[in-house]
Structure 1
């Protein structure tokens, strides 16, 4: 894939670092305290790739992690590389399947973005699209929350989300927005080329993005609370897409 840019940051925790090594992410240095369990595997893998491994104190790791649970290991380097929209469309072309993309409209909470990436990877999505402005980036929190999925699932970061949706439409992808005024999510055909738009935590989809949608989907709300966490809602929509595709196959 042709990369656009990289977010230089820390990858914190055993599983995120291990997945970054498996995915051959460009890591510079790994800081460790201890050698037991998966730490030994991390050390072996890192040395086999020529990555510098430094044994440091628990205090040093805590300072680097700035309060995050480091589990005895932190890697420095690029958390992940961004790709282009064309790269994402190439994935489905090479697989011979209809595109399945997730569009995050100003998801600013890195925990939500990480959870969305994790679910998207497990649901078989081809990739995630985020805007450059007013969005969490692929930082250490996103990487850790994704449980390492950010090392495997391609993410494109675009300057203009509405323009990116136009590009997808030109490529034959249907845009499905998520909104309370839409049709029931399980009554709409999601087996074709799909881009699911997940709105921001507080305000949902922006006006321009909403106007680009070909369809609007909604989830049933039977209680007094009328909305779901963005990553939870995204997970339901993604797995309904997976369910329909599996049933059709």
Structure 2
């Protein structure tokens, strides 16, 4: 794979990329496919005056090698879009989006979330629930790759993703800007009894160790998701979705 290129795979993801105006170098379609959604994608690509290339399925499999679960071929569904390497946003873009919407900043920070599928799922939920940006670290973290993009179902096109050198420094900077921070951890106070209204950053920990100790100490509060069932933990994407929904619910309740 060309190191200066990334690939968006799957019909929904490619459709959202075209509709969003994302820069697309080429769209590869599998030869012989002509069902309704493929015809729709071809029409969108032609309307956008994109370069369209029909290729054998084997070529698409080659482009998507290693993008699926456990290193398998990604499920391209007969279509792959080639784009320049993903460009990350800046924190200023997050605040600008919040200002544009007339809302207090609502940010999600991922602390060492390493599974690109979890990252993609968080992006999808964050965009759907009105967050203004998602922050990831440069080290020990999943990056915005084609695998993450596909799981996001195109949401990565519509929400700023900021890659920072140090998550803790970012939390300190946010606090200086009057953005409260809440870390998710089983030792925290009940989520449902916590006031999350206003400018907030929700900090979600990685799959194996959760939020790092120093990061939790930096946060204003620590919250937990109360679970009456036998399962004592959730994966990062599930936990993030619950926290974001509660944050959104509280904000909307005051309107």
TM-score range, shorter chain: over 0.9
Q: Could you tell me whether the CA contact under 8 Å between 1:99 and 1:194 is conserved in 2?
A: yes
Where do 5+ consecutive residues of structure 2 fail to align? 66-72
Cα contact 1:25–1:80 (8 A) shared by 2 = no
Secondary structure of the structure 1 residue equivalent to 2:113: coil
Q: How far 1:206 moved relative to its partner?
A: 1.4
The residue aligned with 2:160 is: 154
What's the TM-score once normalised by structure 1's chain length?
Answer: 0.93
The Cα shift of 1:243 comes to 0.8
Q: Is 1:207 matched up with 2:213?
A: yes
How far did residue 222 of structure 1 move?
2.4
How far apart, CA to CA, are the structure 1 residues paired with 2:173 and 2:5? 28
Superimposed CA distance per residue, residues 84-124 of structure 1 (whole angstroms, 9 cap, x where no aligned partner): 01110111122211111100101100111111111111111
SS class of match (2:170):
helix
Name 1:166's counterpart in structure 2.
172
- 1:133 pairs, out of 129, 139, 144, with 139
- Aligned match of 1:55: 54
Find the counterpart in structure 1 of residue 108 from structure 2: 102
1:153-188: CA deviation from partner (whole Å, max 9, x where unpaired)? 110111111111112111110001111111100111
Question: Which deviates more, 204-213 or 130-139?
Answer: 204-213
Structure 1 residue 223 displacement after superposition: 3.3
Q: CA deviation at 1:7?
A: 7.9
Q: How far off its partner does 1:79 sit?
A: 6.4
Are 1:17 and 2:23 matched, yes or no?
Answer: no
Give the SS at the match of 2:87.
Answer: strand
Residues 208 and 112 of structure 1: is their aligned pair in 2 closer, same or farther, counting only changes over 3 Å?
same
2:41 aligned partner:
42
**RMSD value over aligned CA atoms?**
1.6
State the Cα distance separating 1:244 from its structure 2 match. 0.6
Report the TM-score, using the length of structure 2 for normalisation: 0.91
**Residue equivalent to 1:28:** 25
Partner of 1:221: 227
Contact 1:28 1:77 in 2 (8 A): yes
2:6 touches 2:86 (CA, 8 Å); kept in 1? no
What residue is the counterpart of 1:118 in the other structure?
A: 124
Q: Where in structure 2 are the equivalents of 1:76-87 lying within 5 Å?
A: 76-78=82-84, 80-87=86-93
Distance 2:19 2:146 in 1: 17
* Count of residue correspondences: 244
Higher strand share: 1
Any conservation in 2 of the 1:127–1:155 contact (CA below 8 Å)?
Answer: yes
Give yes or no for contact 2:25–2:83 (8 Å, CA) kept in 1.
yes
Instruction: Name structure 1 gaps, 5 residues minimum.
Output: 1-5
Separation of aligned partners in 2, 1:35 and 1:80: 30
